[in-house]
């Protein structure tokens, strides 16, 4: 889905092969309360990231869209509310690029950390360099992007951090030890930061999706394995990127003013105790 499709007047939510549901934009925008907000979205080019970006811009937010591969972002029609930042969120040079990008208008209301890397490897096959790369992208990026924008949030007297974790940590993934460990770190980081920043009016929360059907996960896991996971959900269908977006936008919105340090699992009722 592109920004031009969102401008058509309705949002279509991917279903389970049945008729799509439509939600008129005039019902969405007032509820989100994101008009005029300035956001940084790290990990903007992936399937989930692009859906978040589409919804944010339609809600009237101004977005700094960060990714090391921005080719997918440049295929969208230009928008005066989007600034594409070609940067690696998982290193210090990328953090410096983001600081530069938010120096005008010197304001950040919300940071959404969506960067992640999920290769499938048995533990015995993981080298230290491969372990480090997964942790760098999936966990270090959260630390670095947070540090890059926190001074401006403090200057504004409030803010929202929404970090995308993973529901995989509740059960473990035998061939994803590095990824699950990194995403568990995101939750620990977020809960501790929520304690630290709450007195300053800044909230920190996590959205933890189950295995979401994207080209990347299909490539790593295959259709049969994903279908087996989907069959075990209380709502027995695949998780689509749009399913995750609603939770992210809710926690970024004024409706979540008094919610912090929480993990919102989005997996169709596969995991009910966290």
pLDDT digit string, tens, across residues 127-145: 999 999 999 999 999 999 9
Q: In this structure, are residues 17 and 23 in contact, taking their beta carbons and an 8 Å threshold?
A: no
Question: Distances from the Cα of 206 to the Cαs of 61, 95, 189, in angstroms?
Answer: 20, 21, 10
Please compute the mean of the pLDDT values over residues 23-31 and round it to a whole number.
Answer: 52
Distance CA 6, CA 13 (A): 11
Asked whether the predicted pLDDT for residue 221 surpasses 90, the reply is no
Asked whether the predicted pLDDT for residue 201 surpasses 70, the reply is yes
The pair of three-digit structure tokens given for residue 193, joined into one six-digit string: 């930061």
The pLDDT, as a whole number, for residue 155 is: 94
Strands (E), the chain: 10-13, 21-24, 38-42, 62-67, 82-86, 110-113, 159-164, 202-209, 263-266
Question: What pTM was estimated for this model as a whole?
Answer: 0.85
Q: In this structure, are residues 243 and 230 in contact, taking their beta carbons and an 8 Å threshold?
A: no
- List residues with catalytic annotation: 179
């Amino acid at each position: 889905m592109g920004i031009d499709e969102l401008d058509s007047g309705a949002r279509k939510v991917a279903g389970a092969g049945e008729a799509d549901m439509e939600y008129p934009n005039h019902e969405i925008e007032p509820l989100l309360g994101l008009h005029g907000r300035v956001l940084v979205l790290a990990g903007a080019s992936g399937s989930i990231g692009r859906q978040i970006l589409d919804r944010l811009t339609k809600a009237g937010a101004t977005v700094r869209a960060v990714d090391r591969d921005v080719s997918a972002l440049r295929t969208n029609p230009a928008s005066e509310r989007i600034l594409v930042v070609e940067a690696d969120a998982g290193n210090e040079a990328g953090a410096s690029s983001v600081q530069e990008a938010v120096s005008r208008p010197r304001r950040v209301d919300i940071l959404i950390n969506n960067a992640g890397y999920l290769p499938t490897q048995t533990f015995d096959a993981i080298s230290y360099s491969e372990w480090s790369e997964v942790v760098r992208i999936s966990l270090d990026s959260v630390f670095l992007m947070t540090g890059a924008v926190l001074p401006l949030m403090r200057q504004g007297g409030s803010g929202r951090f929404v970090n995308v974790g993973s529901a995989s940590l509740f059960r473990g993934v035998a061939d994803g030890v590095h990824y699950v460990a990194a995403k568990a770190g995101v939750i620990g980081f977020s809960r501790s930061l929520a304690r630290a920043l709450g007195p300053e009016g800044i909230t920190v929360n996590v959205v933890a999706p189950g295995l979401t059907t994207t080209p990347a996960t299909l490539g790593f896991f295959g259709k049969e394995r994903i279908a087996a996971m989907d069959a075990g959900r209380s709502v027995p269908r695949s998780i689509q990127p749009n399913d995750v977006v609603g939770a992210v936008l809710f926690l970024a919105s004024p409706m979540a003013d008094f919610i912090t340090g929480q993990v919102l699992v989005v997996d169709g009722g596969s995991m009910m105790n966290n």
